[in-house]
Amino acid sequence: MAFTTVSELLRIGKDGDMALGHPETPHLTFAGLRKLAAKTIADLNAMGIGRDDRVAIVLPNGPEMAAAFLCVAGAATTAPLNPAYRQEEFEFYIADLKAKAVLVQKGDETPARAAAAKLGVPLIELTPTRDAGAGSYTLSSLLKGTAAQPGPAQADDIALILHTSGTTSRPKIVPLAQANICASARHIGKTLALTPGDKCLNIMPLFHIHGLIAAVLSSLGAGGGTVCTPGFNALKFFGWLDEVKPSWYTAVPTMHQAILARADRNKESLARASLRFIRSSSASLPPQVMLELEAAFGCPVIESYGMTEAAHQMASNPLPPAARKPGSVGIAAGPEVAIMDEEGNLLPKGALGEIVIRGPSVTKGYEANPDANLKAFAGGWFRTGDQGTLDDEGYVRITGRLKELINRGGEKVSPLEVDEVIMDHPAVAQVVTFAMPHDKLGEDVAAAIVLREGQATTEREIRDFAAKRLADFKVPRRVVILAEIPKGATGKLQRIGLADKLGL
């Protein structure tokens, strides 16, 4: 069915079927979820929040986060934020997205509370009511008002706002319409042949497009369910497999590797598991890992290519009997995919260039950022910033990134954001944050600094300094202190290739 809003999507599943689950809690049926969604629309409207009003969501990973995303999206615009952010990061994001309210869990002492208070943005508190089914909750707030646009959100309304990490500027706002995310959910459902009989085990964080769309929205859009864990935990994964008996899961390559590392110790659980397939996305999956995973689980591993601006899926390897090609991210799977040169010409198969996309899941453009949009769109195509080729059969191979974003096993880090924080250290005259190769993560964060004259500091001190203002995953693992930072041919500091030059 061609649903174009989250409210329509939630009507697909059968009343008594599981929509959301949790490993230790009774599940929530589609009938239950639909009731919760209707109640959420009414509650938010009574707080003065309606269509196109933005609600920042700061919730721990789990079924309530999934339910809140789905139900708040029924009424307003959701903006899920990483709960690991520090206060300063919350202040930036809550202000930047002009949130009308911040949704937090009752009793959760997140720094988002102080950030919201400082900005004068009201809180809405969510109290889980798991006895009523995984993901059930009640909302409370001091907010009262009349929504300017009450009732269910429409296809063109923005359902989801995420920030992408800026490379040369501050993080950009990616608005995704109800129709964009619904199209992506349909594309993923089709690629994976999802049905009401499928059950996803969600281990992905739900502030990232991958978890929100590939694990949650695509499952529910196919009438199937998702069991939401508190977040990835390699020690608990096999226990969850046994309890939940999922038909699939989706993850980033580092999670697959952590799972593989424990496969030997969990042979019985593996033998009992009957996954239809495993999905991998958001960072490149080494072909060795793909083959090992397939051997361990006895099912196909489907590598897909996703991006926030495309509401996630752009290309995917197909299910058997069609061929999946290790090292390739598969064929166009939703948007059209092509290769473009710098001048904006589309290139023939085999040629190397920038991967470009267009289609119903792609954002209309960054918010309030004409410069970025000018660079990002060419002749109706969106430039992904990834470099690659298409083979004769239309399989996409990613060969590199034109953008400087650090991809830490799927977690994206903007080097500029780290630079800005480290520059505030009194001993630092110059800093360049860059990607350093890492055997499991693919890339990790490193920084090179030049000290001010007469100043001294240590690697440790800089890392501790950065950790006060940056979430752990953004803190450089290595900080090298140099007399001078190597420059590229044009005299510009070059992040790309710096690790090589420094022998890291």
CB closer to ligand AMP, 64 vs 367: 367
**Residue 77 or 281 with smaller CB distance to ligand AMP:** 281
Please give the radius of gyration of the chain, using alpha carbons only, rounded to the nearest integer. 22
H/E element holding 315? strand 312-316
List residues binding ligand AMP (CB under 6 A).
164, 209, 281-284, 303, 305-308, 329, 384, 386, 398, 401, 407, 412
DSSP symbol at 184? H
Distance of CA 397 to the CA centre of its chain: 21
CB of residue 310 to ligand AMP, shortest distance in Å: 8
> To the nearest whole angstrom, how small is the minimum distance from the Cβ of residue 500 to ligand AMP?
19
In whole angstroms, how close is the CB of 398 to ligand AMP at the nearest point?
A: 5
Nearer to ligand AMP, 50 or 253 (CB): 253
- The distance of closest approach from Cβ of residue 386 to ligand AMP in the complex, given in angstroms and rounded to an integer, is 5
Q: d(Cα 447, Cα 470) in Å, to the nearest integer?
A: 14
CA 416, 116, 161, 27 dihedral sign is: positive
Instruction: Judge whether 163 and 172 are in contact, CB under 8 Å.
Output: yes
Rounded to an integer, what distance in angstroms lies between the CA atom of residue 205 and that of residue 212?
8
Which 8-state DSSP code applies to residue 210? I
Q: Which CB sits closer to ligand AMP, 37 or 301? A: 301
Q: Which is nearer to ligand AMP, 186 or 408 (CB)?
A: 408
Nearest-approach distance from CB 316 to ligand AMP, in angstroms: 9
Tell the smallest beta-carbon distance from residue 15 to ligand AMP (Å).
Answer: 34
Question: Mapping DSSP to helix (H, G, I), strand (E, B) and coil, where does residue 167 land?
Answer: coil
Cβ closest to ligand AMP, residue 135 vs residue 306: 306
- The least CB distance from residue 204 to ligand AMP, in Å, is 11
What is the closest distance, in whole angstroms, from the C-beta atom of residue 233 to ligand AMP in the complex? 21
Among residues 153 and 357, whose Cβ is nearest to ligand AMP? 357
Q: Which two tokens stand for residue 287?
A: 């072909």
Q: Coil, strand, or helix at residue 414?
A: coil
Strands 248-251 and 199-202: parallel
Q: Which is nearer to ligand AMP, 104 or 162 (CB)?
A: 162
Q: What are phi and psi of 416, to 5 degrees?
A: -65, -35
Between CA 393 and CA 331 the distance in angstroms is 8
Residue 88 amino acid letter: E
* CA 62, 16, 239, 194 torsion-angle sign: negative
Nearer to ligand AMP, 189 or 306 (CB): 306
d(CA 49, CA 73): 12
User: How near is the Cβ of 76 to ligand AMP at its closest, in Å?
Assistant: 23
Q: For ligand AMP, which is the closer residue by CB, 238 or 249?
A: 249
Q: For residues 203 and 215, give the distance between their C-alpha atoms in angstroms, rounded to a whole number.
A: 9
Instruction: Give me the least distance between CB of 304 and ligand AMP, in Å please.
Output: 6
- Tokens 């799972």 sit on residue: 259
Residue written as token pair 């290595």:
478
Q: Say how many C-beta atoms besides its own lie within 10 A of residue 261's C-beta.
A: 11
Instruction: Give the separation between CA 315 and CA 14, rounded to whole angstroms.
Output: 30
Q: CA angle 203-204-207, nearest 5°?
A: 140
Distance spanning both ends of the chain, measured CA to CA: 51
The least distance separating ligand AMP from the CB of residue 482, rounded to whole angstroms, comes to 28
Nearer to ligand AMP, 75 or 162 (CB): 162
